Structure 1
Amino acid sequence: MKAVFPINYNLEFEPDFKKFTFIGKEKISIMISKPTNKIVLHAAELEIKQCKIFWNGIEIKPKIRLDEKTEELTLAFSRRISGKAVLSIDFIGQLNDKLVGFYRSKYKYKGKERHLATTQFEAADARRAFPCWDEPEAKATFDVSLLVDRHHTAISNMPIISKKIEDQKILYKFDTTPVMSTYLLYLAVGEFESISTKSGKTLIRVITTHGKKQQGKLSLEFTKQFLSYFEKYFKIAYPLPKLDMIAIPDFASGAMENWGAITFRETILLYDPKTSSTETKQHIAEVIAHEIAHQWFGNLVTMKWWNDLWLNESFATFMATKAVDALYPEWDFWDQFLISEMTGGLSLDSLKSSHPIDVPVKSPADVRQIFDEISYNKGGCVLMMLENFIGDDNFRKGLYGYLKKHEYANATTEDLWNSLGSISKQPVRQMMNTWVRQVGYPVIEAKTKDSKLRLSQSRFLLENNGKAKQGNWIIPLSVRTGDKVTTKLMKRPITIPYKEDWFKVNDGQKGFYRVKYDKDSLYALAKQVEEKTISNVDRWSIHHDLFALCISNQISFREYLDGVRHYEDEDDYVVLSDIISSLNFFYILLSKEEFWDEIKKFNLDFFNKVFAKLGWDPANEEKSTSALLRAQVISSLGRLEDQDIVTEARSRFANLSKTGKLNPDLRGPIYSVIAWTGDSSTYQKMLGLYRKAQTQEEMVRLLSSLANFQDRKLLSKTLSFTLTKEVRTQNLFQPIARMVTNPQGKELVLPWIKQNWKGIVSRFGVGNPLLNRIIGSVSIESDFAKEKEIKNFFAKHHVPGTEMKLAQTLERIRINARLVQSIRKEFS
């Protein structure tokens, strides 16, 4: 336990929307466990106006030192003090435009520009709003007051308990929060409207800026459903009297789980039936479920330190899928989990520059780097593997015991393993520590000889030059042979009797590992793929592993394409989506090669077979995943300049101009196709549509399409446009992500980043997660010279908190460069 820790924060804020500043006052009730003459808190970008401490009936004024580098406020006293005390600090801060701390967001209503103030404190940005102990374990209660202009309203974690007029302003006071970490505190001031409902005694509201509340109806229903689901699943009531879901116009992350006041990007909370797609609807459901799961995992029980971030994020990822699948089984959400979570987790963790789930964290910059596919995706996947190993019932009972034991407190990964192991009587700690404490994952090599199946493991790496650390995992193994499934806990090479014509390792893809089959075994599996005698999930995993083996140069590109030919009669969304994504990757990667037309023809033939089964318009009662697949394949065929697709897309786009009507699921792909084959006149049309768009979802679609043109002058124009005030900082990455997948545009991105880096960093601010996305965008490069150029540039333009992403980007470029060299040799 630390010598000084907080018990309660009494906070008052007064924002000024003319100067974009705020005045703050706080009284912190503290406990000093042993005599000291120094107290150190966290504070950043604050001006301390006054500070004093009340102790044993006397007032003491300390000497103050604010260190900008360490973000620490040191208070030195002339005497040693201990026991209970109250620390009083007055300060001034900035309502910044960097999307962190206490910041401002801009929007228009009835033609006028307006502002609101909101907060984003995770991971370590509460210190930008008030001096505090800005660490997860320093839990305290909070009493919040907000003094605001009369036309504004205020929001915080708890309900309002009083409103009082003071000097032409209104003072809002909120009820005392439960014991919680600083990063979960929430403040908002602005002009809001809302719709509401109740779940039991809990008031649920969807809060928006004016004119948008009706777009919150779907989210209101989702919130009620998922809150009820989690209360029943965890068998612990949601502990706060209200739950607000707040749509923020400017927001760096997707959403944030502030206790009782969850914030979202507008695109992830607002739904317009006329223009919102099936993908948007499902994404809204998944993110709402994710954030509500955090009210237990993260808020009620919080990790002790950021090395255990996965206890928050992996559980929310896993539980969200469980909740959505339970309430909307027709969406096949566990199948989609393979695309949304397992793909990203396997991809990042196949790099030498990956990191363990349980990773050392020393500074705020370290924390910001691990909000990635390891803490979310891989963690969610190993939880699925663990649940499958110990059983649903044991898993649920173990979670209940963990939550009850540590509620309103902090916990570690070991605490979770103890609970799950105690209930299941299985070696949970021993097995799971091999998955969370070491980097990477295994590939199981499967060979058959003399009616025996021999299985061995090694670390899977895309760049395996023998220099990376190897590993050994305790693997909950499953092997299907016909109708029989054999399960074992694999620690070292094993042998299984084998009499059937075929076998499939990792049945149902519950395990977080890859499989490499010998040629005969793979050929036997290919027949099962063609005849669909194995599940769609197993067909997915066979292709997914083939693609990875090709990228890592363990099989040739032609062997990979031969493997894809066995899927020509495939009709499942998850399988086809994976194949389409992989073929598109090769299409972009090989766009400069002499044999590119051969790749293009292969893709055209495969995609057209898929499209022939779908058509342009939805069939009666088709699955929602068909809409997702249709959009993907139309976009892909448009980029291949399939004339039938281009002609129909132009016709439907022209009809949109006349009637304003277009199937929401087709808007994105049609904009993509129109841009790909468009000229400067088309560009101006799409720019006009962007400026008139009524929803953020529509704006993002159109902004992304501006990166799809083939004229480099137009693409340069798009890059310049992204840095104007017409593009929100949160959306700046969207056209960049699209442009790097455009053969005509990908070479423009790196020079643009280098030329504008100073302005990009200034606009985002150090610590903004969007900076890492910009760096990661150039990972599609496939030239060793480019890798050196990027490395040299960022060595001279280093930004703290980007080191890990830079290393991963450089590694991917080397992997791509070696792959292209290998494929060139094949085709020569």
Structure 2
Amino acid sequence: MGKQGFYVSKALAVVFIVLGLGALATIIALSVPPVTSNRPVTTNPPVTSNRPVTTNPPVTSNRPVTTAAPSNEPWDQYRLPKSLEPTHYSVTLHPRLKAQEGTGLYIFTGESSVDFHCKEETDLILIHSNKLNYTSKAGGEWAELTVVSGADTAPTITESRLQTETQYLVLTLDRKLTKNAEYRLTTTFTGELADDLGGFYRSEYVENGQKKVIATTQMQPTDARKAFPCFDEPALKATFDITLIHDAGTVALSNASSPETIEGNSVMRTVFERTPKMSTYLLAFIVSEFGNITDTVDDVTIKIYARKPAIDAGQGDYALKITGPILKFFENYYNSSYPLPKSDQIALPDFNAGAMENWGLITYRETALLYDPEFSSNSNKERIATIIAHELAHMWFGNLVTLRWWNDLWLNEGFASYVEYLGADNAEPDWGLKDLIVLNDIHRVFAVDALASSHPLSSPEDAIQKPAQISELFDAISYSKGASVLRMLSDFLTEPVFLKGLQTYLQQFAFGNTVYTDLWNHLEQAVQDLEFNLPFNVTDIMNTWVLQMGFPVVTVDTTTGIVTQKHFLLNPDSEITTESPFEYKWIVPIKWQKNGAEQPMEWLREESETKPEMKLGGSDWVLLNLNMSGYYRVNYDDGNWDRLLNTLSNNHEAIPVINRAQLVDDAFNLARAKIIPTVRALSTTKYLTGEMAYMPWKSAINNLEFFFLMFDRSEVFGPMQKYLQRQVQNLFTHYNNATAGYTADAVGHQNQYTQVNAFSLACRTGLTECQNLASTLFKDWMATGVNKIRPNLRTTVYCNAIAAGGVDVWDFAWGQFQKATIATEAEKIRYALTCTKESWLLNRYLEYTLNPTLIRKQDATSTIIYIAENVVGQNLAWDFIRARWPYIFSQYGGGSFSFSNLINGVTERFSTEYELHQLEQFKADHAEVGFGSGTLALEQSIERTKGNIEWLKENKQTVLEWFQKEVSASPSS
């Protein structure tokens, strides 16, 4: 809708100035320690401009302010009491995009009212509040309680305090609220618009030499309380009226459309329409100077927002092109119209997650939304398509229907992680995206879920309480295992049954909340309505996958037809301390082939069952878990393994491409678990000299990464490199010929990936032709200033050239990184800078991660991990995080989605007793500081290190001898 232009009155402008001065005075006061009883009580450190606020500023008012000791009182519990239920919020916020004089702080001021229903009589109001400072407004108190309906008068607030640990504003009343009455709590407050990437925060960028500031949000999971006081739990849905006061020349956005913006000389007032009933974590509001491009699909306005130069350069065009088709796909998939009149998507320079599904205003990292064909690779383009599909899937599944509590986060994120492949495949049908879930999610999460320190998909509700515990759930289990088991469910139910149950689920619970079993009930009803033959109840099947951690390895003995299942552990000697309600048995759907022909589906419920049809003779072979539709690994008797490997060598296309990737992945992991010999797993790579498909090669490379990590500091490394160089030679030569010396892209989406893998592995294994080509291409860029390297190959070329070069090459790349205006290009260079073999350069780069003007906060942890992946940088990165752990934890440990990746990433190569001792000592040394959302990751790292130590003891000599034998044999042998 068009904007209406009005001037803000002089009186209104004065009010804003007063609010700003009052807030500034209050924040300045925070740095003064209390010396008299009539000053605000605070035990917090002073707020400074170069350090994020990590504790609550005090409540200031004329009422008594107290501090409370931990207790069993309601304010010391992390869950809100059931006595109050919000119905509507009216929130006005004014972010200041210029630092305050004197303090250097960026602030925002606000006024919020919340209407709530009293369900039970109480003389206590608990409402979430974190890092907000409450300030009295002119002529009144900072908090006011009034009656909306159902009572004559409102109680008086007699005492107020902030409960820092549980993040509450606590208001004590002189009498009880009336049951079933409606009340309104109005507050005025000030907060810091910090650069901490959570709540209402600021993002900065440079345009035409001038610093620009954005006020933006990230509420999930528990940071809406940093923007305004609210009942910040997903089940407490309400409607919202949002108003933003912002500088002239800026644009304000929120979840709903804005029918009017009142313009003034210096400030503007944008009033947004009322939102649907929704959860606080889905709120968003942004003030920026961004540009946008627009499209309309069936009366839904679609806009892509980004920095103006990015919009002008067409970097938002691809996202705009595919958003409409994906939105229409999900409308058909869910059989439900998109519930809002607009869909805004915005690319932010600073954003901690990949993207966030705020209803009607989706936020993204720039790399997840902006595409430039001159700089962006094939994988960049795919990432944009799948992330847009993921977030749009949430508009229904998550936003329209929301899980009641965070313990069921897996269903929300797992579902979107599954159907993102369906939505993106609809937009790009030639890419074969549906198959890639096997590599990207199933194989990925197997590595985590095979640890004794894994966890079930769903936890008891009372086990997830603290914000750090909630953030810890945003892991591979919730996303990738969730996606994997839902894909399995859809497969064995068939899509018509799955969709019918899904659609009735969304219809019944629209604008409400659910638990995961509600979906099972609707799917079971669909089974009955469509008269689908299912041997077990949906709930019975799925609870075995949801309520116990891990997954089985299914073993078939083709000499007897006996099929067994057993909990798969990478380290079979691990001690399992987590009890299973099903004794680690699953109800397993088995799709299978015999000699390449699909057979009727089988089910495995018991630990061991006899399947006569799987008893074979002669040259027959069976293949279980067809197209990797089930979430389990498969093992065979030696005879069937031999026949499968023989088929791979002589006629590999007789086995479906997904299963060729599966055979490689299963074999390597079965070997790590001591179920089959390691040389059996290595033998699955011998046929690759004749393989051209992406998925098997990628599966092999992913699994060989473990061998690189274990052996790149030992004598095994040389023979291993020679063997792999020989295996990849044909592939490298093929694409060298097909793409005129790697100056063009291969034809086909997955073929382009194979081209990149061929080049990358050839260079990594020391193929001179590849390494020389990488250095030549990079030096040509340095000499001419013109980058002729294909976008798909840039990451690999940059990395290899920097690894082979000295400080001059590194400094050139650093200069290009600092000048980069394309986020995907900057990302490639940022990674490649970690490839240098100069330890002093890596140490300097580690120090850069502490300076957000050099490395953005959103990129700090991944940069440290990249350095640790470099064998030269491993110890440097480990020493770095140990020495600076308190600071790193204060910056990222509480709620960062990526924080758990830091501990896992830096310790991935650990495989000695000395490194295990260091890891355990690290845990002991910093127990008082804590590990936040990385707590579970630390336990997994310790377990993985123990497993690595044992594996090396048992396999190092065998692996060395196998590689030596293979490289000494003729290529044709």
Asked whether the two chains share a fold, i.e. TM above 0.5, the reply is yes
1:443 corresponds to = 553
1:550 alignment partner AA: A
Find 2:502's aligned residue among 393, 399, 406: 399
Find 1:806's aligned residue among 938, 941, 954: 938
Find 1:102's aligned residue among 166, 190, 200: 200
State the 1:820 CA deviation.
Answer: 1.6
Find 2:485's aligned residue among 382, 399, 404: 382
1:80 alignment partner AA: K
Find 2:725's aligned residue among 593, 604, 623: 604
Change (3 A) 1:484 1:697: closer
1:30 corresponds to = 116
State the 1:563 CA deviation.
Answer: 2.5
2:514 corresponds to = 411
Q: Within 2, Cα distance between the matches of 1:466 and 1:87?
A: 53
- 1:80 and 2:176 matched: yes
Q: Within 1, Cα distance between the matches of 2:900 and 2:110?
A: 32
1:179 corresponds to = 277
2:639 alignment partner AA: D
After TM superposition, the structure 1 stretch with the greater mean CA deviation from structure 2, 694-703 or 130-139, is 694-703
Give the 5 Å matches for 1:640-719. Answer: 640-657=765-782, 658=784, 659-719=786-846
Aligned residues of 1:552 and 1:815 also touching (Cα < 8 A): no
Aligned residues of 1:604 and 1:642 also touching (Cα < 8 A): yes
Find 2:90's aligned residue among 10, 14, 23: 10
CA offsets per residue over residues 269-297 of structure 1, 9 Å max, x none? 00111111111001100000000000001
CA offsets per residue over residues 388-429 of structure 1, 9 Å max, x none? 111111111111000001000001111000000111134111
- 1:517 and 2:636 matched: yes
2:701 corresponds to = 580
2:756 alignment partner AA: A
Find the residue that maps to 2:174 and give its secondary structure.
strand
Find the residue that maps to 2:933 and give its secondary structure.
coil
1:507 corresponds to = 626
Q: Within 2, Cα distance between the matches of 1:62 and 1:290?
A: 47
CA offsets per residue over residues 39-61 of structure 1, 9 Å max, x none? 11111111122112102454533
Find 1:564's aligned residue among 671, 682, 685: 685
Aligned residues of 1:584 and 1:636 also touching (Cα < 8 A): no
1:373 corresponds to = 476
1:548 corresponds to = 669
Find the residue that maps to 1:732 and give its secondary structure.
helix
Q: Within 2, Cα distance between the matches of 1:644 and 1:127?
A: 57
Q: Within 1, Cα distance between the matches of 2:759 and 2:436?
A: 20
2:128 corresponds to = 42
1:147 corresponds to = 245
1:321 corresponds to = 421
Aligned residues of 1:703 and 1:734 also touching (Cα < 8 A): no
**May I ask how many residue pairs the two structures share in their alignment?**
826
2:948 corresponds to = 816
1:752 corresponds to = 880
After TM superposition, the structure 1 stretch with the greater mean CA deviation from structure 2, 735-744 or 358-367, is 735-744
CA offsets per residue over residues 18-51 of structure 1, 9 Å max, x none? 2311111111111002221111111111112211
Runs of 5+ consecutive residues of structure 1 not aligned to the other structure: none
1:561 alignment partner AA: L
Q: Within 2, Cα distance between the matches of 1:796 and 1:316?
A: 39
Higher alpha-carbon Rg? 2
Find the residue that maps to 1:238 and give its secondary structure.
coil
Aligned residues of 2:899 and 2:933 also touching (Cα < 8 A): no
Find the residue that maps to 2:525 and give its secondary structure.
helix
Change (3 A) 1:10 1:351: same
Change (3 A) 1:521 1:792: same
2:131 alignment partner AA: E
Find 1:215's aligned residue among 287, 310, 315: 315
Find 1:495's aligned residue among 599, 610, 621: 610
State the 1:717 CA deviation.
Answer: 2.2
State the 1:620 CA deviation.
Answer: 8.2
1:63 corresponds to = 159
Change (3 A) 1:92 1:57: farther
1:332 corresponds to = 432
Find 2:924's aligned residue among 783, 792, 795: 795
After TM superposition, the structure 1 stretch with the greater mean CA deviation from structure 2, 362-371 or 259-268, is 362-371
Aligned residues of 1:342 and 1:377 also touching (Cα < 8 A): yes
Structure number with the higher strand fraction is: 1
Change (3 A) 1:92 1:189: same
State the 1:776 CA deviation.
Answer: 1.5
Find 1:353's aligned residue among 450, 453, 456: 453
Give the 5 Å matches for 1:227-266. Answer: 227-266=327-366
1:481 corresponds to = 594
State the 1:223 CA deviation.
Answer: 0.9
1:496 alignment partner AA: K
Q: Within 2, Cα distance between the matches of 1:576 and 1:458?
A: 28
State the 1:714 CA deviation.
Answer: 2.1
2:328 alignment partner AA: S
State the 1:765 CA deviation.
Answer: 5.9
1:443 alignment partner AA: V
Find the residue that maps to 1:461 and give its secondary structure.
coil
Find the residue that maps to 2:557 and give its secondary structure.
strand
State the 1:618 CA deviation.
Answer: 7.3
State the 1:779 CA deviation.
Answer: 2.5
Find the residue that maps to 1:516 and give its secondary structure.
strand
1:738 corresponds to = 866
Find the residue that maps to 1:617 and give its secondary structure.
coil
- 1:206 and 2:304 matched: yes
Find 1:89's aligned residue among 168, 177, 187: 187
Change (3 A) 1:459 1:353: same
State the 1:431 CA deviation.
Answer: 0.2
State the 1:158 CA deviation.
Answer: 0.4
1:275 alignment partner AA: F
2:810 alignment partner AA: Y
Find 1:638's aligned residue among 763, 767, 779: 763
Aligned residues of 2:306 and 2:346 also touching (Cα < 8 A): yes
2:609 alignment partner AA: I
1:456 corresponds to = 564
Aligned residues of 2:663 and 2:684 also touching (Cα < 8 A): no
Q: Within 2, Cα distance between the matches of 1:312 and 1:820?
A: 39
Aligned residues of 1:13 and 1:147 also touching (Cα < 8 A): yes
State the 1:573 CA deviation.
Answer: 0.1
After TM superposition, the structure 1 stretch with the greater mean CA deviation from structure 2, 263-272 or 753-762, is 753-762
- With structure 2 as the length reference, what TM-score do the two structures score? 0.83
CA offsets per residue over residues 656-685 of structure 1, 9 Å max, x none? 342333211111111011012111221112
Change (3 A) 1:345 1:819: same
State the 1:782 CA deviation.
Answer: 1.2
Percent sequence identity over matched residues? 31
Find the residue that maps to 2:295 and give its secondary structure.
strand
Find the residue that maps to 1:80 and give its secondary structure.
coil
Find the residue that maps to 1:348 and give its secondary structure.
helix
1:130 corresponds to = 228
Q: Within 1, Cα distance between the matches of 2:264 and 2:807?
A: 56
2:167 alignment partner AA: E
After TM superposition, the structure 1 stretch with the greater mean CA deviation from structure 2, 455-464 or 607-616, is 607-616
CA offsets per residue over residues 134-192 of structure 1, 9 Å max, x none? 11100000000011111222110001122224683111100000000000000111211
- 1:628 and 2:728 matched: no
Find 1:783's aligned residue among 884, 888, 912: 912
After TM superposition, the structure 1 stretch with the greater mean CA deviation from structure 2, 366-375 or 58-67, is 58-67
Q: Within 1, Cα distance between the matches of 2:232 and 2:563?
A: 48
Q: Within 1, Cα distance between the matches of 2:284 and 2:764?
A: 44
Q: Within 1, Cα distance between the matches of 2:216 and 2:331?
A: 28
Aligned residues of 2:587 and 2:604 also touching (Cα < 8 A): yes
